Structure 1
C-alpha cells in the first residue's frame, strides 16, 4: 500500500503548496490563457491522486475489486504492489472516504449545473418577455445578438445550445464606435472558450471542499483569469485603449472605480485592476517560456499516473 500512501501524500502536498506557488508574481496577469491551463492541470493532478489512491485502497481491502482492477495484469505485476491477501480495515476506510468525497463532488457539480440551467431558463424567459419574437419569426438555433431596452448599460452572453449576446440600449447610448465592438468581442471570448464550464467546475469543487486550499484558489483565480482572457481577446481586435474605455463606460455608474470599490469580483471588484492592466500592459512572456510552461503544466497530471503505474511498469520492463 506504499503506492496509495504516496499518492495521498502527493495530492495533499500539491493541494497545499500549488496555490502559494502559482499566485506569486504577475505572470498570470501577463498570460491569463496559460494560467488557466496551468490551474486546470494542477487541479486535475490532485483529483487523479485521489482517484488512483481510492482504486488501490479498494484493491487492498476487497478481493473482488482487486480482481477487476488487475484482471488483465500478469501475476508479477500484482505482486509488485505488495497487496495483502486479507486486506486491511484502514484501506477500506480510506477507500470509502475517498469514494464519498468523489460522490459529494459530483453532487455539488450537479447542483451547480442544475442551478445554472435554472438561472439561464429564467433569464431566457425574461429575455423573451422583454424582446419578444416578431410574428412569423422562429426561435433562433445559432448565435444571435439581442438588444434590450434599458437605461442601465450592460452586456452579457447567455450560454446554451443557442447562445445569445445581449446588450442594452443604455450601453449603446453610452459607448461610442468601436467600444461596442470591443464589448461584444469580450463576450464572444467567453462564449468561444466556454468559460462557464470552468466557473461551474471551480465553484463545485470549492463548495464541496471549502477548506482545501487549491480548490479555494482555483475558484478565485478562475473568476479573475477568464475576464482577463476575454479582455485580451477584445484588445487584440480593437485595441487596449478602446477596450479599457468600454469597461469604464459600462461600469462607471456602479461604484467600482470610487475610493472604496467592492472587493468581490462578482460585483466588479476586479475592474480597476483590469482597466489598469489594459492601459499599462506588461510585456508578455517569450514564446519559449510559454512553450516550456505549457509542457511542464501538461506533465503535472502525468505524475500521479507515473506513481500509480510505476511498480507495474518497472516489473514489466
Structure 2
C-alpha cells in the first residue's frame, strides 16, 4: 500500500520543484498567458495528488469505500493495490486530507462572498454618486465619470460591468489612452481573471504555511496584469498603454527614485516600452503541452498498479 505515500511525496516534490523552476524561467514575462496556464497546471497537480491519496487511503481504511471504488475492477487489480495491508495510518491520512479539502472549499466560498460583498458595496456607493439618468433602463456598458481630484479608474465587474473613471483621470488621459485603459480592464473581465485571484487567495489564506500557494497567489496578481497589458497593447499599441499607466499613477510615487513598496507598475511600463520578442509558436505550444502533462503524472502514478496487473 505504497501508492498513497508515493502520491503525497509526488505532491510535495511538485510543490517544491515547480515554483523554483518557474521562478528561473526567463519566458514568464514574455508569455504571461502561458505562464498562467502552467501555474494552474502545477497547482492542480498538487491538489490532485492530495485527492488521489485521500481516495486510496479511504479505500484502504474502509471496506465500503473500497467496494464502491473497485466495484467493477477485476480481483487482480484490487490485489495489486494491496489495500488490505494498510495500517491504522490510512484512516488518519484520509480524514486529514478530507478535512483539508473541506477547508479549501470553505476558504474559496469565503473569498467569493467577500468579493461579492465588496462589489455590492461599491455598486451601492456608485449609484449614490452617479445615479441613473431619466430614461436609462440599464447599467450595462456604462462609462461612469466621477468627480475627483485624484486620477483613478477601475472596472466594476458583475452582471452590469462598467468602467469607472474620475474627472482627474479624464484630464490626464490623452487620445486613445482611455480606450487602452478600457481594453485592459475588459481583458481582465473576459479572461475571468477574478476567478484565478479568488482561487489563489483562498489557497494562500487557507494554507499560509504552504509556500507554493503563496507563490501562486503572488504570481497570479502579477501575471494577470501583464496579460491584460498585452491585450490592450495589441489593440492600441504598447506606447499608448504605457502612457495610460503613467498618467494614472504618476502622482502616487510609483515612478520616482524611491517607488512605493510592492509597486509593479514601473516594471510593467518598462516591459511595454522595451518589449522582448515573443516565443516562437512552436515553443509556446510545447510549454502549453508540458503544463498540461503535469496533472497527468499523479493520475498515472495512481493507475500504475492496476495497469500493471491488467498487463
Report the TM-score, using the length of structure 2 for normalisation.
Answer: 0.97
CA deviations over 1:200-237 (Å, ceiling 9, x no partner): 10000011111212111100100000000000011111
Task: Name the counterpart of 1:308.
Answer: 302
Residue 137, structure 1, aligned to residue 136, structure 2: yes
| Aligned mates of 2:144, 2:306 — CA distance in 1 | 57
Range moving further from structure 2, 25-34 or 242-251: 25-34
CA deviations over 1:79-137 (Å, ceiling 9, x no partner): 1111116x521011111111111111111111111100100000000111111012242
Moved over 3 A (4+): none
Task: Name the counterpart of 1:65.
Answer: 65
SS in 2 for 1:283: coil
Distance 1:78-1:122 versus aligned 2 partners, 3 A rule: same
Q: Deviation of residue 150 (structure 1)?
A: 1.9
Which residues of 2 match residues 16-95 of structure 1 at below 5 A?
A: 16-84=16-84, 87-95=86-94
Residue 279, structure 1, aligned to residue 273, structure 2: yes
Distance 1:299-1:25 versus aligned 2 partners, 3 A rule: closer
Count residues in correspondence. Answer: 311
| Aligned mates of 2:265, 2:208 — CA distance in 1 | 26
Equivalent residues of 1:19, 1:213 under 8 A apart: no
Unaligned runs of 5+ in 1: none
Report the TM-score, using the length of structure 1 for normalisation.
Answer: 0.95
Equivalent residues of 1:42, 1:300 under 8 A apart: yes
Which residues of 2 match residues 192-231 of structure 1 at below 5 A?
A: 192-231=190-229
Unaligned runs of 5+ in 2: none
RMSD: 1.3
